Structures are given as structure tokens and as C-alpha cells.
Amino acid sequence: MTDESGAKIIDTEEPLLDDAAPRRPASPAPMNFKPRPRPLARRFPVIEMAREGTYWVARIWFRGVFYSNSLRGRRPQALTLIPEENWPGSSDRGAGLVEGRFRFLNHTLNAEDAFSKALEAGPAWQAELHSFDWLRDMRAVGTEAARIQARNCVASWISANPKWDPLTWRPDVLSSRLCNWLTHAEFVSAGADASFASLFLDNIARQVRHLRRVARFMPDG
């Protein structure tokens, strides 16, 4: 409005902002993210300590003949589910393995000595060997010689590890080995005789039984 002199007077009852002008959108309400609850054992360290203590006591039992016998049982007649390989192997690395050179962590052993003399290579090298992560590299070679070498390695491992061992049967190593054996089972066992197929399936079943038993001792998450 204007007074009699023509001067504009601001009416305090009128809005100071033009309704046609763009307005800044209001800030969204902050989202309330609830933290994911920690596993029970991490919230209560005494539970994790009890698990570790029980596992160390159980290791005494694992070493005995009776425990090895307890892993016997019915074996599957065939594998009904084969996991997919998510990580392609290297045919270059596989070629060396097929030729009998097991090189991990800058240390090399011949195939015939790998499973019997791995102690001299150290625990990290042994863990790499016994995990069988390198089977994918042999498979990438794709030859019959690679298949036979892979099968011989599996048979050598079974022969050298008839009972529990703190490293070769360590849960992380064992679970990796089982995963690799199952993933590459067709590659390893195709064309094998019945005795190897029986030995292979029986040993898979033994390792699965042990892994189920020790899973309760492992940390959550």
C-alpha cells in the first residue's frame, strides 16, 4: 500500500516473500539408522573365551584314534550339487603345477614331496598347499595331463592325512579345501576308476563331519 505522499508502506501482515519465487526445499528428516547388533560372543567376551578353551581341549580328543574312527560313516553315492567357480584360474601358474613344481610364497617343492615335506616350507606355505586353491589353475590348463596330476594330488593328500592335524584340518584350511574339491570334483574325478571315486567321496564326507563338529567353536560372523 502507499500513503498520500506516494511512499510505499510495508504491511507487516503481508508475506515478505513472493509466493511465485522458488523456495529451497526443506531438508529431509534425518534417517535413524540402527547399528547392527554385534554377535553374542563379541558382546560377551567370556562366551568367545569359553569357545576357544573348549576347542583347545577338544584338540586333544581330535588327535586320538577313536576320533578318527568316529568320522567314519555313510558316504554319498554321488555329488548332487557342484558349486560354481567364481574365480578363473591361471593357465600359466597351472602349467608349472602340472609339471610338478609347487611354488607358493617364493618357495618351491616338487609334487612328489609337497605333501610329505611341506613342514620345511613353513605354516603359511602349508596352508596354501592344503587349501587346494590352486586346483583352478590346473583346471585352466584343460589337458588330460592336468586332470591326472590334479587327481594324483588329491590322492596324495588323502594318503598323507589319514587323521586330524592342527594345520591341515584347521577350519579355514579345511573349508577352503572342501569348497575346491567340490567345485572341481568333475574335473578331478572324470575318467577315474571306481576305487578313486569311492575314496574321494568318503574323504569328503569325513571332512564335512569334522567341520560340522568344530563349527560351534568358531567365532560368530
Decide: 187 and 147 in contact? Cβ < 8 Å. yes
Structural domain contains residue 83: no
Q: What total number of domains does the chain contain?
A: 1
Structural domain contains residue 49: yes
Who contacts 4 (Cβ-Cβ below 8 Å, separation ≥6)?
Answer: none
**What's the whole-model pTM score?**
0.72
Who contacts 50 (Cβ-Cβ below 8 Å, separation ≥6)?
Answer: none
Structural domain contains residue 6: no
> What pLDDT, on a 0 to 100 scale, did the predictor assign at position 143?
96
CA–CA distance from 210 to each of 66, 93, 161, 191, 213 (Å)?
13, 31, 14, 29, 5
Give the containing element (helix H, strand E) for 107: strand 107-110
Structural domain contains residue 15: no
Structural domain contains residue 30: no
Domain with 200 in it = 43-73+90-217
Asked whether residue 101 carries a pLDDT value surpassing 90, the answer given is yes
Structural domain contains residue 163: yes
Decide: 202 and 158 in contact? Cβ < 8 Å. no
pLDDT digit string (tens) for 12-46?
A: 444 444 444 455 555 555 555 455 555 545 555 65
Structural domain contains residue 27: no
Structural domain contains residue 129: yes
Show the DSSP H helices in 78-193 as ranges: 91-98, 111-114, 123-131, 135-141, 144-160, 171-183, 185-189
Q: 103 — phi, psi (to 5°)? A: -115, 115
Who contacts 60 (Cβ-Cβ below 8 Å, separation ≥6)?
Answer: none
> What pLDDT, on a 0 to 100 scale, did the predictor assign at position 146?
97
